[in-house]
Copies of this chain bind each other. A is one copy, B any other.
Amino acid sequence: MSDPEAKPARGRPKTMNADNVLDLAMTAYWHSDPADVSVNAICQMAGISKPSLYRAFGSEDGLSRAALDRYAEQVLSEMFAVLQGGAGLRETLAALIDFACDDPRMDTGCLFYKMRAGKHRLGPETRARVDEIDASAQAAYATFLKAARAAGDWSNGLSVEAGAKYLGEQISLAITQRASGEDPARVREMLTLALSVFTRP
């Protein structure tokens, strides 16, 4: 944003740290569900007034969009990194399975998947961002699978696009199940089974 070391403006000094509020909002949306967290609740948790929040983020839509942006930077980027790491098919799939089944941050699910599942309840900005991330993820999965196919690691009758969608949805399902309290070992077993279609002829 703006220079954090800029001269301290002119009016009454800020006491609200928008960054902290955003972190808190992201975490609240993430750990419960975007639809179950009101702006009122966020203000209360953050110990700020509503006008302060609205001055910083404009609207609930602006806040949830900013929270999703931050989530994409902080969390989703890692998943993209795994996909783009250039490792082989089996290694990458194993890393994705580990991420979905073991990463403690996914204990309470994935904010992006939660938002996507309740997309119709989001404001237009946030919804657009969800679609954007969805498309990026689909593209990343497709690029990964295309490379695997070029390397001869994978060659069943499926199109790359269908495979990419399938892969993404299976990971989403696993994370969602895990967040809903399903036995982690069982989740891993099911995800491994679902993704075994990529490694069997």
Contacts and interface: CB of A to CB of B under 8 A. Distances in A.
Contact of A177 (B162, B169, B190): B169
A190 B169 contact: yes
Size category, A interface? 20 to 34
A186 B2 CA distance: 45
Given A117-B117, A197-B193, A197-B197, A186 B162 contact: yes
Contact of A166 (B36, B165, B193, B200): B193
Count of identical protomers in the assembly? 2
A125 interface: no
A183 to B, nearest CB: 9
Interface string A112-154: 0000010011000000000000000000000000000000000
Given A162-B189, A162-B193, A169-B173, 4 more contacts: A33-B120, A36-B120, A158-B193, A162-B186
12 contacts: A36-B120, A158-B189, A162-B186, A162-B190, A165-B182, A165-B186, A166-B194, A169-B173, A169-B177, A169-B190, A170-B194, A193-B197
